[in-house]
Structure 1
């Protein structure tokens, strides 16, 4: 159980409540991170503003060469390195859905070099893992493989910023004892049942 109680949605400021209800409508449940961070509304707003700018750049009028699957792959892989259960499970679910591959999240969380992903994605994750674990060792030689795979400097910023932001998120989830919602575990593992016509 979480070390810090989840916020009561009915006690939250209107803007937080509206956003959380919007997420609930779309997902069918409220991911624990939304209520876990809502105990501090100013931090919640800052966190999700940066999250959305990184994970959905179109929402802030910016284009990107990273797909939604690429972004979730970075989060899942680096969160595994940081041993963050919440982010591996939650973002692994989104990765499976965006990539339409039920095994990919488990593969990249354990060993992305043996995962069923492209060489481009492996180069992306090599860089992300160096940012995650040894950012002080980065030099110009780390950028060349990314350029060779068609990433431009803005894409490389995205890879690094996503990695860094989720390093923060991983640590908040871990120290607070935040657990993933049960719904995340099965998402994207089995084909969706078709609704009757």
Structure 2
């Protein structure tokens, strides 16, 4: 058993949770997005150089965190606020055109494009992607939808529905709150 003292013990306990790893990854992602988005607004050559350095620094840091934590969000500015990845042990790959606010993703989720298709999936607000589900191709998932575990979504999902299966089919509508 390793012997830790004071703050190191607390840091070891907190730093090894999935939630804290996702928090650290998203923090670096948001810094990268900030420097990437503000670099075009610079007019001073010194600040342009600073922005280029910081953008590349956070891009490198993001790729290192992606490899370390098995989480990969391929397109910056595609994930909205309130994003939650509850478990990341199986890896999470997100390559979507946009994922709106307050989406929940579990381990083993893959969101991406199909060969020969130009557009990536578009995911609405409050969508839950359960463990091991795949969203492939030019797909639109509506708000408040739930994709069941190990489902493969290749067609559009209506707002407020639950889908399951390979390929995913409509099961029922969710309760309105």
TM-score by length of 1: 0.25
TM-score by length of 2: 0.27
Higher normalized contact order (CA 8 Å, seq sep 6+, divided by chain length): 1
Q: Which has the larger radius of gyration?
A: 2
Compare the two structures and name the one with the higher strand fraction: 2
